Structure 1
Amino acid sequence: MPHDVDITLVAPRYLAGPGDPTWVTVPLHRACRWSTAEDPLVPRVILTSPDQLAQLRIDPDPDLDEPWWTLRHAHHGDQRAWSVTFEAPTPVEIIAAVTDALTDPAAPPTASGDPYETLRAAGWHALRHHDGRTSPEGMTSPDGLARVDRLVHEGGRSASWVVETSVPHLPTLWRAYLDGNTPPHLVAALFEALADETPLVREPHRVPQLAATHGRTSSGRVSAETLAFALEHRVAALAQRNAPTPPATPPSGPHVPKPRRAR
């Protein structure tokens, strides 16, 4: 018999905790045809794009003081090689925003305009230094718990991005790093995911304590079927997005017999 299960809705989403990695990996494999490199001796996950240019690597080592998630893309044409990393507690929905944008066949190669436009619309404001000065190169969330820094490198090299969620007087919750060659539309996708005010769904026992003390949580119940098929629906939607468009068929008109040759 169908039954309901308990869930917790967490906002803002950058406090929701990591979630299930399959939210990222399964759609890449099944909907976007990324291949897997399996090694039964290690828990590492490696997914490679069909064109062999992009690779997602997950190294879940609790003793490794390095990001768990690494997305790399090789040099191709006018696009320089780039990489993006996420630490283990990064919500998978934020990581998925980047991988979804990367694999979207309709995504623009570049994004124009102010990269902070989405954040400003959501109430984010310029970072303020200890001396009271504001920084045009950084933004912070309305609650002050998330921030984006644009690091301008010396020598005229392109600037990189650092995204960080932290609570005062406590270690950083998670950090993401996007190097200066990361395509602008991927940067924009990440910022849009940060600014999204839609709560994330988590199992009650997997909600971080900081989400309850510094964020907003609410309890609810959904059918077990809805929860179980959420990933399947996501895979189906991405598969449809990546399906080739069938060729247009010419409109059918009245049948006109071919003229017969006179003898």
Structure 2
Amino acid sequence: MKSKPRPSLHTTAQPEQHYLIHPRALAGGGDIRHVSEFLRASGWRDQSQRHGPLLMESPDRTVRLSYDPYVMPGGWTISGAAHGHQAAWNAVLGSQTPVEIIAGLTDALTQPVSAHAPTAWAPLKQQRWSIARRGGQLTAESPDGTSWMQFHEDPPASPVWWSGAGDQQGNGWTATFTATTPLHLVQAFTTALASPEPVMRPRGRVPHSMRIFTTSVSVLPSQLAAWQQARIQAAGAAAWARNSGAGQPRTTPRLSAAGRRARR
């Protein structure tokens, strides 16, 4: 009697279909671990309760971040306490704000402030957004008309930054920043908002929108894990450098498209 062949202990992982989405502002929320794992590796304290909303605090306890999907409308809240010459500030961003845009802001919270004077409008100008003053507000709009950034200074209301993205199908989000929000953080946000780089979403998580373009890519789970791990390791290395007084390395993994592509 012939013995049956033993099943192989080595299984070959199958590629999974994902989509690169442009413009990134209409890609939907994404995986919040893109934000939280980077902050955790940067030394932030995770104070979330079991089965509760995400709640994290900076190492110096001056900034708190929360993500709560259990309330309406739900979304992100980032608050900074007053210290030194910096007044208290607050940012509120909708739950459908892409995590890659959120990370533009939150990653900046872990990095030293540049000596160069920040400006929120420069990244938008570089990507050819139109900027105009209308009444008591300065408004920037993306070339495709899907995203905007405004600074309201109409009295008697307090000045505020207002941003967002939207399409005719109801996809979109809005964000507000108090005028006291550190300008380098607003600039980090607008840099991520205006970036021409697409963002990746798995099959089934692509918004139904007439305003987005998608590129189908086949990605191995090991590739996704490697990209995520590279981002976390970069955060950990930067935190170690800050704590040890060494120079701060900066590495930003870039997603590369692989496999068969099809645009719509």
TM-score (norm 1): 0.81
- Rate the CA distance shift 1:156–1:7 in 2: closer, same or farther, 3 A: closer
For the pair 1:12 / 2:23, whether they are aligned, the reply is yes
| Residue 107 (structure 1) aligns with | 113
- C-alpha contact (below 8 Å) 1:111/1:188 kept by paired residues: no
Q: Within 1, Cα distance between the matches of 2:67 and 2:203?
A: 25
What SS does the corresponding residue of 2:179 show, helix, strand or coil?
Answer: coil
- C-alpha contact (below 8 Å) 1:126/1:135 kept by paired residues: no
| Residue 260 (structure 1) aligns with | none
Q: Within 2, Cα distance between the matches of 1:180 and 1:26?
A: 28
| Residue 90 (structure 1) aligns with | 97
- Rate the CA distance shift 1:247–1:83 in 2: closer, same or farther, 3 A: closer
1:139-173, Cα deviation, whole Å (9 max, x unpaired): 0001111111111153696x3211111224x5461
Matched AA of 1:193 = A
Specify every segment of 5 or more residues in structure 1 that has no aligned partner in the other structure, as ranges.
249-263
Q: Within 1, Cα distance between the matches of 2:238 and 2:122?
A: 26
Q: Within 1, Cα distance between the matches of 2:181 and 2:116?
A: 11
1:77-127, Cα deviation, whole Å (9 max, x unpaired): 0000001111010000000110101111x322x752642121112121025
Q: CA deviation at 1:214?
A: 0.8
- C-alpha contact (below 8 Å) 1:139/1:147 kept by paired residues: yes
- Rate the CA distance shift 1:7–1:215 in 2: closer, same or farther, 3 A: same
- C-alpha contact (below 8 Å) 1:43/1:60 kept by paired residues: no
Percent of residue pairs identical: 30
For the pair 1:162 / 2:162, whether they are aligned, the reply is yes
What SS does the corresponding residue of 2:204 show, helix, strand or coil?
Answer: helix
| Residue 61 (structure 2) aligns with | 52
For the pair 1:216 / 2:213, whether they are aligned, the reply is yes
Aligned counterpart in structure 2 of residue 36 of structure 1, from 46, 51, 55: 46
For the pair 1:228 / 2:233, whether they are aligned, the reply is no
Matched AA of 2:121 = Y
1:51-73, Cα deviation, whole Å (9 max, x unpaired): 11110011112x513x4110011
Specify every segment of 5 or more residues in structure 2 that has no aligned partner in the other structure, as ranges.
1-11, 247-264
Task: Tell me how large the CA RMSD over aligned residues is.
Answer: 2.3
